[in-house]
Amino acid sequence: MKYIDIRSDTVTQPTQEMREAMYKAEVGDDVYDEDPTAKKLEDYAAKIVGKEAALFVPSGTFGNQLCIFTHCERGNEVILDDSCHIVIHEVGASSVIAGVQLRTLKSDKGVMSPQEIRSKIRKGEQDIHFPSTGLICLENAHSNGRVIPLENMKEIYEIAKENNIPVHLDGARVFNAATYLNIDPKEITNYCDSIMFCLSKGLCAPVGSIIAGSKMFVEKAKKRRKLMGGGMRQVGFLAAAGLIALEKMRGRLYEDHQNAKYLGNELSKIPQVSVNLDDIQINMVFFTLDIGNADEIVSFFLDKGIKINAPENGMFRFVTNYWVSKEDIDYVIKTLKDFLSLKVR
């Protein structure tokens, strides 16, 4: 049975072109720096985000944690938003891998106050009681579906430079952010020293992410990638799909955004649903629905050929992607209405 899967854009399958490219890929041992397809991907990836060098890594979480590990010394403090992916969904890895302390700040839907960041920077070399602030992390697009304004990133980056602190960008969906802002991705990555972005998710590659930064940073990260178990030998088979993701799939992300807007508008017409349409900026639709037992709706949808997640902290999330059409969305809406009609009988 073919399912409509709106749990996330991580569920995307590779396109036929990707499958063929993977089959034909020229490969070598990447740990020996001998994989030509991986090199081609890394060169192209660095170019499109305006950095000197790039490195293929297994996943977004791996990439974020590798960047923190590479930027920081053990015992450093990292300033970041308390609702970002690194804090919420990366299993506390920063404490295990990099041995750092996270100093989280409240944000306005992912937008942190530059003034508060300035006030939280600590200089351990000036007081034996303090850790040193080793890194500031941003996320754009945010995992709440919002896009962070460039001016906010610019202000934070300038404060970081004043204090000689690097900035890392969790750009898992940076191309969604660039699509929403209608700008070149380099206009976003101009305000970070390192970036991680995913080749999977909306770009449909089966596996992998990229980290990018200066040549010196990437060389340091490459050894630490090996330490973390990320030296994957003939990785060109995966890099081949990643190349197509970057060359061809970035340009169609606006379709997912349009479908998300359509989905949100249709959901907003259902009396029991509460959705903030202004928050639909990329391919994610968050909404609340008072239904009691969430397992019932998940099971009902699955029986109808639709995969959804149960709500997290009371909030449902539906995510559009390459494999979800407008007709699929109409069916999702019909299924929800059918479910709600059964509940009121």
Q: What is the pLDDT of residue 345?
A: 54
322, 12 in Cβ contact below 8 A? yes
How does strand 167-170 pair with strand 53-57?
A: unpaired
pLDDT score for 315: 93
So what's the pLDDT on residue 124? Answer: 73
Structure tokens at 288: 């609340």
CB 142 within 8 Å of CB 88:
no
Question: CB neighbours (10 Å) of residue 211?
Answer: 31
Per-residue confidence band for 342, with pLDDT thresholds at 50, 70 and 90 = confident
Beta bridge pairs of residue 54: 212
pLDDT of residue 1: 72
Average pLDDT over residues 9-32: 97
Question: Per-residue pLDDT for 57 more than 90?
Answer: yes
The fold adopted by the segment(s) 16-249 is Aspartate Aminotransferase; domain 2 (3.40.640)
Across the range 185-210, mean pLDDT stands at 98
Distance CA 22, CA 35 (A): 13
Class at the top of the CATH hierarchy for domain 4-9+252-343: alpha beta
Opening angle at CA 200, ends 194 and 202, nearest 5? 100
Domain range summary for the chain, segments of one domain joined by +? 4-9+252-343, 16-249
- Per-residue model confidence as pLDDT tens digits over 134-192: 999 999 999 999 999 999 999 999 999 999 999 999 999 999 999 999 999 999 999 99
| Residue from 72, 33, 255, 62 nearest 165 by CA | 72
Is pLDDT at 344 greater than 70 in this prediction? no
SS (H, E, C) the chain: CCCEECCCCCCCCCCHHHHHHHHHCCCCCHHHCCCHHHHHHHHHHHHHCCCCEEEEECCHHHHHHHHHHHHCCCCCEEEEECCCHHHHCCCCHHHHHCCCEEEEECCECCECCHHHHHHHCCCHHHCCCCCCEEEEEEECCCCCCCCCCHHHHHHHHHHHHHCCCCEEEECCCHHHHHHHHCCCCHHHHCCCCEEEEECCHHHCCCCCEEEEECHHHHHHHHHHHHHCCCCCCCCHHHHHHHHHHHHHHHHHHHHHHHHHHHHHHHHHCCCCEEECHHHCCCCEEEEEECCCCHHHHHHHHHHCCEECCCCECCEEEEECCCCCCHHHHHHHHHHHHHHHHHHCC
- Do the Cβ atoms of 168 and 135 come closer than 8 Å? yes
The answer for residues whose C-beta is within 8 angstroms of residue 334's C-beta and 6 or more apart is none
pTM: 0.96
Assign residue 165 a region (left: φ > 0; alpha: ψ between -120 and 50; beta: otherwise).
Answer: beta
Q: Which residues, including other chains, have CB under 8 Å from residue 158's CB and lie 6 or more apart?
A: none
**Rounded distance, CA 27 to CA 297, Å?**
46
